[in-house]
């Protein structure tokens, strides 16, 4: 029996991850939730580890990266692949995707130890207002909507996309590169943050063909396979823009969409089977 850890940041799995654990157990996996930052855990007792609701990783990113490296040294298969996780920790990945032709909001990155005047940026670029956030961030951590004041790096400054208030933000979930399901997230009145922690709402919905094509184009730019990924998009008429590509610890809404937890469990099963076959082939070569 394959022993798999589902990594989280709290003692109890959130509903979406619990649904995944149940689906994996039904496929015959020996599943155990673990707190990723535990210093007492024997990681080598697991054959694989699925990084899921590690929702505090951005507050201790160096510790998180060292933990991923530790798992690699101990021979534990990590999902998503470690190189993909490392790439996704810093939002400068958006600049790479933009350079490859993916549309994102107009963005200025502020390097560490640098500072800029936000009002000057807004005036020079014709923005009404901006969103400011750290380049390593999650769940709207230290995310602000403003037009003036200093911005100290490392940070990113984006033109505010007002469409998010009326059309909301799409989250499209992919498993092994295949579309699984989507939700539309909307902020509460007078806010711009779509997370439920701030009063936002989440509804399962079917995206348009244009949004699907855009999301699949984003995923085609990845250098490493994503067993699971969430593509966050704002679509306003003919304009479609990437807000985030989440492959570390995205909420996947598995508890909201029937069958989605089983699809992810099967995707994990397929990936681990292929990995095992590849390793056996390397050993016999």
- Give DSSP secondary structure letters for 186-227: EPPTT----SGGGT-EEEE----HHHHHHHHHHHHT-SS--S
Q: Which of 217, 269, 266, 207 is nearest to 245 (CA)?
A: 217
How far apart, in Å, are the Cα atoms of 279 and each of 18, 69, 282, 285?
30, 19, 5, 10
- What average pLDDT score do residues 182-205 get? 89
Beta carbons of 151 and 113 less than 8 angstroms apart? no
Residue 281 reports pLDDT greater than 70? no
pLDDT of residue 193: 84
pLDDT of residue 283: 60
Complete edge-to-edge strand list for the sheet that includes strand 77-79: 30-35, 3-8, 48-53, 77-79
- What average pLDDT score do residues 164-182 get? 96
pLDDT-derived band at 192 (thresholds 50, 70, 90) equals confident
CATH 3.30.470.20 location in the chain: 163-246
pTM for the whole structure: 0.94
pLDDT of residue 137: 84
pLDDT of residue 191: 85
- What average pLDDT score do residues 259-274 get? 96
Residue 214 phi/psi, 5-degree rounding, is: -60, -45
pLDDT of residue 284: 53
CATH 3.30.70 assigned to 3-79: no
CATH 3.40.50 location in the chain: 3-79
- What average pLDDT score do residues 231-247 get? 94
Residue 162 phi/psi, 5-degree rounding, is: -65, -25
Range of weakest confidence among 146-150, 187-191, 229-233: 187-191
Range of weakest confidence among 25-29, 146-150, 193-197, 238-242: 193-197
CATH code for the domain defined by 163-246: 3.30.470.20
Mean pLDDT of the chain: 94
pLDDT of residue 32: 97
pLDDT-derived band at 140 (thresholds 50, 70, 90) equals low
């Amino acid at each position: 029996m394959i022993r798999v850890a589902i990594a989280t940041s709290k003692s109890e799995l959130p509903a979406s991850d619990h649904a995944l654990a149940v689906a994996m157990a039904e496929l015959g996996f020996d599943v155990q939730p673990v707190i990723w930052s535990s210093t007492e855990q024997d990681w080598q007792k697991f054959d694989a580890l699925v990084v899921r609701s590690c929702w505090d990783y951005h507050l201790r990113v160096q510790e998180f990266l060292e933990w991923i490296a530790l798992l690699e040294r101990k021979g534990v298969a990590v999902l998503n692949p470690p190189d993909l996780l490392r790439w996704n920790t810093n939002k400068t990945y958006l600049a790479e995707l933009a350079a490859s032709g993916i549309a994102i909001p107009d963005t200025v990155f502020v390097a560490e130890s640098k500072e800029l005047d936000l009002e000057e940026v807004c005036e020079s670029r014709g923005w009404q207002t901006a969103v400011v956030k750290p380049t390593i961030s999650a769940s709207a951590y230290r995310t602000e909507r403003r037009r003036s004041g200093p911005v100290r790096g490392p940070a990113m400054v984006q033109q505010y996309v007002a469409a998010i208030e009326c059309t909301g933000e799409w989250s499209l979930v992919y498993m092994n590169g295949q579309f699984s399901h989507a939700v539309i997230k909307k902020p509460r009145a007078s806010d711009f943050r779509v997370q439920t922690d701030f009063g936002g709402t989440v509804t399962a919905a079917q995206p348009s063909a244009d949004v699907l094509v855009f999301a699949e184009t984003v995923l085609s730019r990845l250098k490493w396979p994503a067993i699971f990924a969430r593509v966050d998009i704002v679509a306003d008429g003919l304009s479609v823009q990437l807000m985030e590509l989440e492959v570390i610890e995205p909420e996947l809404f598995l508890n909201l969409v029937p069958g989605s937890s089983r699809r992810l469990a099967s995707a994990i099963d397929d990936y681990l089977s292929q990995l095992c076959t590849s390793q056996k082939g390397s050993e016999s070569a």
